[in-house]
Structure 1
Amino acid sequence: MENNTENNMAENLFAVFRQIHSILPQSDQDLHKNLTRSHYEVLFVIYDNKKIPMSEIAKLLSLSKPYMTALIGRLIEETLVERVPDQKDRRIIDIILTTKGEKLLLQHKKMIEQHINQKFAHFESNDLEYLSVILKNLKEMFMQIDL
């Protein structure tokens, strides 16, 4: 890829990230008053992985370990996640969702989906199908990036 193409790609990607961020609900307070967007990002990572060490969550979200410790601490206080020893290596502590955490996360996901559907309701179905294909391809490309 030539430099100009790389610069355009990076610029467009950055713009899309900002636009996606702007269409998401600004407040998650309706579901849980003590959680921030970062808490929900952590919950999604745990949900996707079923059980995962805190250091892996921090790596996937590009967060510092002290900040991750604080986020997990709050989620434990709210009984949304638990620490459990890894079955293969007891030195490793995995983080898992509780039933309460999974229920809250699925409610949050549904709220976001409804919000996004409202934002895109005025588009034609063929435009939405085209966007869906683009997003699927983008997701697959991101999965190939080594974090």
Structure 2
Amino acid sequence: MSDLNLKSFSGEMIRIMPSVIRGMLKKQTDEIARGHITMPQYLVLDLIDKSGPLKMTQIAREMDASLPAMSGIVERLHILKMVERFYDRRDRRIVKIGLTVKGKKVVKKITHQREKMVESVFGRLTEKERQAYLKIFKKVRDILYEKI
């Protein structure tokens, strides 16, 4: 791709992405869309759901945020009874953050609702188009996280 083509692509992406994101958000009916939790709170819940209980330093590192910022988010999730703090069984000096039953239900509910939203949008593409989109999307993710 020449510089001009890349520049045109970049401009088009910058113009399209905000409307795609807004369109996706409009189709969401989950806890985030209704304002019950914030996107950063959901991302923390999702991280803990996928990784299991984590120390605050691990959460901050994975979220690429400061420890004080993550402490505030986790505290709000604790107040909402979505996460719990507990001592590590091997070293009682270490406090870990895990999901409560309520936190697990919220993650499961949001995941299910998002799957339905993605299916309603991408169901209008052919299987070949979906495969191509997914392949490119994964490659972009890998570039962003320097896996390539």
2:72 matched residue in structure 1: 70
Tell me, in whole angstroms, the C-alpha distance in 1 between the residues paired with 2:98 and 2:12: 36
Distance 1:15 1:45, change over 3 A: farther
Instruction: After TM superposition, give the deviation of residue 111 of structure 1 in Å.
Output: 1.1
Shift in Å at residue 141 of structure 1? 5.6
Return the index of the structure with the highest Cα Rg.
Answer: 2
Are 2:96 and 1:94 equivalent residues in the alignment? Answer: yes
User: Which residues of structure 2 form unaligned runs of 5+?
Assistant: 1-6
Cα pair 2:54 2:96 within 8 Å, conserved = yes
For 1:55 and 1:20, the matched residues in 2 are separated by 34
Q: Which amino acid aligns with 1:69?
A: S
Deviation larger for 111-120 or 46-55: 111-120
Once the two structures are superposed, residues 6-35 of structure 1 have per-residue CA deviations (whole angstroms, 9 ceiling, x without a partner) of: x9xx99998897677445426744787431
Q: Can you list the C-alpha shifts for 1:67-107, whole angstroms capped at 9, x where unaligned?
A: 21111111111111101112232222111111111111010
Partner of 1:25: 25
Instruction: Give the paired residue count.
Output: 142
- Which runs of no fewer than 5 residues in structure 1 stay unpaired? 1-6
1:9-48 correspondence runs (5 A): 21-25=21-25, 28-29=30-31, 33-48=35-50
Cα 1:40/1:123, change in 2 over 3 Å? same
Give the alignment's Cα RMSD to 1 decimal: 3.4
Identity %: 23
| Residue of 53, 56, 66 corresponding to 1:54 | 56
2:106 to 101, 104, 111: 104
State the partner residue of 2:3.
none
User: In 2, are the aligned partners of 1:25 and 1:112 still within 8 Å (CA)?
Assistant: no
Verify the 8 A CA contact 1:84 1:95 in the aligned structure 2. yes
> 1:46/1:16 Cα in 2 relative to 1: closer, same or farther (>3 Å)?
farther
Q: Is the 8 A contact 1:23 1:119 kept in 2?
A: no
